[in-house]
Structures are given as C-alpha cells and as structure tokens.
Amino acid sequence: MSHGHHDLGHNPGSGGMSGRCPQCGRGKMFDGYLTVKDRCEVCGLDYSFADSGDGPAVFVILIVGFVIVGLALFVEIAYQPPYWVHAVLWLPLLLVLGLGLLRMLKGWMIAQQYRHKAAEGRLDKD
C-alpha cells in the first residue's frame, strides 16, 4: 500500500543536518555550499518556505566563539606562546568549525521550518 512520496521509510524533518530534503531525505537541499535550491530534484518539494535568516549565523558565532576563546585562553595561560602560534592554531579552526556548523545549522533550521510548517507572514483564513 503506497502513500506517494511520503512512504520512503524516512523520518520527515530529519535530513536537514546532512543537507538532504526534509520531506524525502534523498534530494540535496543545497545548490553549492550554502545556497538553498529552488526545489528538491527527487520529490519536488518547493523550498520557497525556507528562510533561515540570520539564525544559524548567530548560533555559530556564539558556539564557535565560546569554544575558540576558551581554548585560546587555556593555551595562553598554560603555555604563553607567541601571537603567531595563536593565529596558526585558531584561524583554521575558526574557519572549519564556522563553515561546518553554519551549513549543518542552516539545514537543520530549514528542516524544522518544514516540520513545523513555518512560513513567512501567512494569515490563516477560516
């Protein structure tokens, strides 16, 4: 007994962090690194509802900032290295953590919008 494209053995809304379609879990959500596609090439889900705004960036800044500042303070207090060592340690880590988390959180937030049927400025008409 088939229920269309929903009967794929997939938990809707769980594909976001992996960059997959929140409806079918198979299609790619991103066209490039952070650009969201117009629609899923597998199930046809229209991604026009997806507007993650600045939410993912704010979380990434807070999380990555907390981690890197904590580690930098620890290294400074424990070893007191020259400043160039801090640059060599923290700039690559900042880029890797920042860009990696940004894509994951953007995908997750879009999946949550899909799951909770959130969209911009809609009024329910009875």
Structure confidence at residue 122 (pLDDT): 58
13: confidence class by pLDDT, cuts 50, 70, 90: very low
122 within some domain:
no
- 4 pLDDT more than 90: no
Residue 90 lies in a domain: yes
Residue 60 has pLDDT above 90, yes or no: yes
- Residue pointed to by tokens 């008409």: 125
- pTM here is 0.76
The band of 50, judged by pLDDT with boundaries at 50, 70 and 90, is: confident
In a domain, 124, yes or no: no
Quick check: is 121 in a domain? no
Which of the pair, 53 or 90, is modelled with greater confidence?
90
Determine the angle formed by the axes of helices 55-79 and 83-115, rounding to 10 degrees: 150
Q: 9's torsion region: left (phi>0), alpha (psi -120 to 50) or beta?
A: left
- Annotate the chain with three-state secondary structure: CCCHHHCCCCCCCCCHHHCECCCCCCCECECCCCCECCECCCCCCEHHHCCCCCHHHHHHHHHHHHHHHHHHHHHHHHHCCCHHHHHHHHHHHHHHHHHHHHHHHHHHHHHHHHHCCCCCCCCCCC
Tell whether 12 is covered by a domain.
yes
The domain containing residue 21 runs over which residues?
Answer: 4-115
According to the model, what pLDDT value does residue 1 have? 41
Q: Is residue 120 part of a domain?
A: no
For residue 123, is it within any domain? no
Question: Is the pLDDT assigned to residue 102 strictly greater than 60?
Answer: yes
Question: What's the domain count of the chain?
Answer: 1
What pLDDT score does 17 carry? 87
